[in-house]
Structure 1
Amino acid sequence: MSAMNQANRSLFELDLLRALVMVADCGSFTAAASRLHSTQSTISQKVRRLEQLAGHRLLERGHRDVQPTDAGQTLLGYARRMLGLNDELLQALAGATVATTLRLGVPEDFVNPATTRMLAAFNRGNPQVRLEISSGLSRDLAHGFDHGELDLVLVKQRRNSRPAVHCWPEPMHWIDARNAPSAGQDVLPLVTFPPRGLYRDEMIHAIETLGRRWRITFTSSSLSGIQGAVADGIGISLLPRRAVTADHRIIDGEHGLPVIDSYEIGILYRDNADAGVRALALELKRQVDSQAQ
Structure 2
Amino acid sequence: MKGNAKGHRPLFDLDLLKAIVMVADCGTFTAAAARLHSTQSTVSQKVQRLEEMAGHKLLERGSREVRPTDAGETLLGYARRMLALNDEMLESLAGETVGLTVRLGLPEDFVGGQTTHVLAEFNRKHPQIKLEVTSGFSRDLASGYDRGDLDIALVKQRRNSREAVASWPEQLRWIDSAKNPSIDLDPVPLVAFPPRGLYRDDMTNAIEGLGRRWRMSFISSSLSGIQAAVADGLGISLLPLRAVTAEHTVLTRKSGLPPVETVDIALLHRPTADKVVKELAQALSRMFGKPGR
- Give the TM-score, by structure 2 length: 0.63
User: Structure 2 CA distance, aligned partners of 1:170 and 1:134?
Assistant: 20
Residue 175 of structure 1 corresponds to 175
Residue 204 of structure 1 corresponds to 204
User: Structure 2 CA distance, aligned partners of 1:240 and 1:108?
Assistant: 11
Are positions 1:276 and 2:276 aligned together? Answer: yes
Deviation at 1:131, TM superposition (A): 1.6
Deviation at 1:128, TM superposition (A): 4.2
Are positions 1:99 and 2:99 aligned together? Answer: yes
Residue 139 of structure 1 corresponds to 139
Cα deviation code 1:188-227 (max 9, x no counterpart): 1000011111111111122122221111111111111111
User: Structure 2 CA distance, aligned partners of 1:159 and 1:252?
Assistant: 23
Residue 42 of structure 1 corresponds to none
Cα deviation code 1:26-76 (max 9, x no counterpart): xxxxxxxxxxxxxxxxxxxxxxxxxxxxxxxxxxxxxxxxxxxxxxxxxxx
Instruction: Evaluate the alpha carbon distance shift between residue 255 and residue 127 of structure 1 in structure 2; reply closer, same or farther with a 3 A threshold.
Output: closer
Deviation at 1:256, TM superposition (A): 2.4
CA contact (8 A) 1:142 1:153 kept: yes
User: Structure 2 CA distance, aligned partners of 1:221 and 1:151?
Assistant: 24
Q: Secondary structure at the match of 1:174?
A: strand
Q: Secondary structure at the match of 1:124?
A: helix
Are positions 1:219 and 2:219 aligned together? Answer: yes
**Deviant stretches of 4+, over 4 Å:** 95-98
Residue 249 of structure 1 corresponds to 249
Letter of the 2:281 counterpart: A
The answer for unaligned runs of 5 or more in structure 1 is 1-94
Taking only the aligned residue pairs, the percentage that are identical comes to 58
Deviation at 1:117, TM superposition (A): 3.0
Deviation at 1:118, TM superposition (A): 2.2
User: Structure 1 CA distance, aligned partners of 2:255 and 2:131?
Assistant: 46
Deviation at 1:255, TM superposition (A): 3.9
CA contact (8 A) 1:129 1:276 kept: no
Map 1:1-293 onto structure 2 (within 5 A): 97=93, 98-289=98-289
User: Structure 1 CA distance, aligned partners of 2:226 and 2:277?
Assistant: 32
Larger Rg: 2
Q: Secondary structure at the match of 1:261?
A: coil
Count of aligned positions: 198
Instruction: Evaluate the alpha carbon distance shift between residue 192 and residue 128 of structure 1 in structure 2; reply closer, same or farther with a 3 A threshold.
Output: same
Instruction: Answer with 186-195 or 126-135: which moved more.
Output: 126-135
User: Structure 2 CA distance, aligned partners of 1:171 and 1:180?
Assistant: 24
- Give the TM-score, by structure 1 length: 0.63
